[in-house]
């Protein structure tokens, strides 16, 4: 399982905050820390509407993107910090200029956000790098995904694909956990889940349903400013999630063979019981179901699993309450 923590815009354009996120998330045990590379002039214009107008600080959406930009030098610092902390620096570009920037950083692969699935210009640019792509599907139908997957396959790109719902925060009826398996069956690619539910249980369920990659938004506090804060997981939740996901992954990698219980032989013996009577019974009494009890340990008399053979049998001797029943009693 690959666990990717998406910082998105949670850094609010501050290099220091972005570095703190790398530190906190690598300590939480994720495999990759993910950024979005926004180069305002290359990807947007004054005509772009706000997805959520959460601040009056930025007059227009492009002003917001400008505030989220880092310089190449700053990106180098962020990537270096990821390397020092032993996590992959992963990013989604939102323009061809952003791909050029990421190439200068020497990234290993690319994430394509849900909004870019039909941006063939960007996909062509990424494909020209020859590097693997993780494709998100939050806004796409199968038909659109088919074309994008074909487009990348024709260019020999190694693709992974994520179920995602672009709705912030995503409500249970829209998680689409069923789609993880459908994507796997349809494309036979490495398949995962990109979460916006802000709930660890969604990611754990996705793991159990076969996701091989998990991505979720991270934030220091869901009360923070920002478009994704309410759809994100906090650091303590991420720590717990990482542990849970690693455990479930290990469980899934070790399927249990229920047809063979030989490993329980000793323990099973400790749990097994022998038959006893629950009242004083006189010689000549005919045993009924209501007379019987099953008590530990096993092998003290007739085994509990053989109780049906005793019903209707006549006692040859008295037997005291809670005494075990043996063959000699008949
Ligand atoms: C928007 C992104 O991804 P997703 O669609 O998976 O949320 C992204 O990676 O930048």
Which ipTM did the prediction report?
0.99
Given a cut of 90, is residue 101 above it in pLDDT? yes
For 173-181, the CB contacts below 8 A with 24+ separation are 175/202, 175/205, 177/202, 177/205, 177/206, 177/209, 179/137, 180/206, 180/209, 180/210, 180/211, 181/209, 181/210
Q: According to the model, what pLDDT value does residue 227 have?
A: 84
Residues of the chain with CATH 3.90.1210.10: 262-329
What's the average model confidence in pLDDT over 224-246? 95
Residues of the chain with CATH 3.20.20.70: 2-253
Q: How confident is the model at residue 52 (pLDDT cuts 50, 70, 90)?
A: confident
Q: According to the model, what pLDDT value does residue 298 have?
A: 94
Nearest CA owner, ligand 1 atom 9: 113
Upper half-sphere CA count for residue 284 (Cβ side, 13 Å): 0
Q: How confident is the model at residue 58 (pLDDT cuts 50, 70, 90)?
A: confident
> Which atom of ligand 1 approaches the CA of 8 most closely?
10
* E strand spans, 125-281: 133-136, 159-164, 190-195, 213-217, 274-277
For residues 25 and 5, the answer to whether their CB atoms sit within 8 Å is yes
What's the average model confidence in pLDDT over 292-302? 95
Q: According to the model, what pLDDT value does residue 48 have?
A: 87
Q: Tell me, which fold does domain 2-253 have in CATH?
A: TIM Barrel (3.20.20)
pLDDT in tens, 104-146: 999 999 999 999 999 999 999 999 999 999 999 999 999 999 9
Nearest CA owner, ligand 1 atom 3: 113
From residue 185, give the alpha-carbon distance in Å to each of 160, 212, 301, 311.
Answer: 13, 14, 55, 55
The SS3 of residue 110 is strand
Q: Which residues of 136-149 are buried (b: 16+ CB within 10 A; e: fewer)?
A: bbbbbeeeebeebb
Average pLDDT, the chain: 96
* E strand spans, 18-171: 32-37, 88-93, 110-112, 133-136, 159-164
What's the average model confidence in pLDDT over 217-245? 95
What's the order of all strands across the beta sheet hosting 2-8?
A: 88-93, 32-37, 2-8, 213-217, 190-195, 159-164, 133-136, 110-112
Given a cut of 70, is residue 34 above it in pLDDT? yes
Nearest CA owner, ligand 1 atom 8: 113
Question: Which of the listed residues 3, 7, 36, 126 should we mutate to test ligand 1's pocket, taking the one with most ligand atoms within 8 A of CB?
Answer: 36
Given a cut of 80, is residue 237 above it in pLDDT? yes
Given a cut of 70, is residue 55 above it in pLDDT? no
Tell me which residues have their CB closer than 6 angstroms to ligand 1: 36, 92, 111, 113-114, 136, 138, 162, 164, 166, 194, 215
Question: Which of the listed residues 4, 7, 114, 175 should we mutate to test ligand 1's pocket, taking the one with most ligand atoms within 8 A of CB?
Answer: 114
pLDDT in tens, 179-199: 999 999 999 999 999 999 999
CA 125 to chain centre: 30
Q: How confident is the model at residue 10 (pLDDT cuts 50, 70, 90)?
A: very high
CATH classification code of 262-329: 3.90.1210.10
For the chain, the distance separating the N- and C-terminal CA atoms, rounded to the nearest angstrom, is 62
Beta bridge partners of residue 293, listed in sequence order? 276
CA 307 / ligand 1 centre spacing (Å) = 63
CA 106 / ligand 1 centre spacing (Å) = 20
Q: How confident is the model at residue 50 (pLDDT cuts 50, 70, 90)?
A: confident
| CB-based burial label for 73 (10 Å; 0-12, 13-18, 19+) | exposed
CA 240 / ligand 1 centre spacing (Å) = 23
Q: How confident is the model at residue 225 (pLDDT cuts 50, 70, 90)?
A: confident
Given a cut of 70, is residue 283 above it in pLDDT? yes
Q: According to the model, what pLDDT value does residue 57 have?
A: 80
pTM over 0.95: no
CA 267 / ligand 1 centre spacing (Å) = 50
Say how far apart CA 221 and CA 46 lie, in whole Å: 30
What's the average model confidence in pLDDT over 236-258? 97
Q: How confident is the model at residue 258 (pLDDT cuts 50, 70, 90)?
A: very high
Nearest CA owner, ligand 1 atom 4: 113
């Amino acid at each position: 399982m690959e666990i990717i923590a998406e910082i998105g815009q949670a850094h609010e354009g501050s290099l220091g905050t972005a570095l703190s996120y790398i530190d906190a998330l690598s300590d939480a045990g994720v495999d990759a820390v993910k950024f979005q590379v926004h180069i305002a002039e290359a990807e947007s214009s004054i005509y772009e509407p706000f997805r959520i107008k959460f601040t009056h600080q930025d007059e227009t959406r492009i002003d917001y993107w400008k505030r989220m930009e880092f310089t190449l030098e700053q990106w180098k610092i962020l990537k270096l910090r990821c390397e020092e902390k032993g996590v992959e620096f992963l990013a989604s570009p939102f323009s061809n200029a952003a791909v050029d920037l990421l190439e200068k950083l020497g990234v290993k692969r690319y994430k394509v956000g849900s909004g870019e699935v039909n941006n063939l210009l960007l996909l062509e640019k990424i494909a020209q790098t020859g590097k693997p792509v993780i494709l998100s599907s939050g806004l796409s139908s199968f038909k659109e995904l088919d074309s994008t997957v074909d487009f990348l396959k024709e260019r020999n790109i190694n693709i992974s694909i994520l179920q995602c719902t672009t709705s912030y925060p995503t409500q249970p009826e829209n998680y689409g956990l069923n789609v993880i398996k459908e994507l796997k069956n349809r494309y036979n690619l490495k398949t995962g889940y990109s979460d916006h539910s802000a709930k660890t249980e969604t990611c754990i369920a996705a793991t159990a349903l076969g996701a091989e990659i998990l991505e979720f938004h991270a934030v220091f506090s869901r009360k923070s400013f920002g478009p994704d804060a309410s759809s994100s997981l906090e650091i303590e939740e991420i720590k717990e999630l990482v542990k849970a996901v690693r455990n479930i992954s290990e469980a899934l990698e070790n399927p249990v063979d229920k047809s063979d219980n030989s490993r329980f032989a000793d323990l099973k013996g400790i749990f097994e019981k022998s038959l006893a009577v629950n009242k004083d019974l006189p010689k000549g009494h005919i045993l009924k179901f209501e007379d019987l009890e099953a008590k530990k340990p096993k092998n003290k008399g007739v085994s509990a699993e053989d109780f049906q053979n005793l019903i209707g049998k006549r006692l040859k001797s008295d037997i005291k309450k809670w005494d075990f029943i043996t063959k000699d009693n008949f």
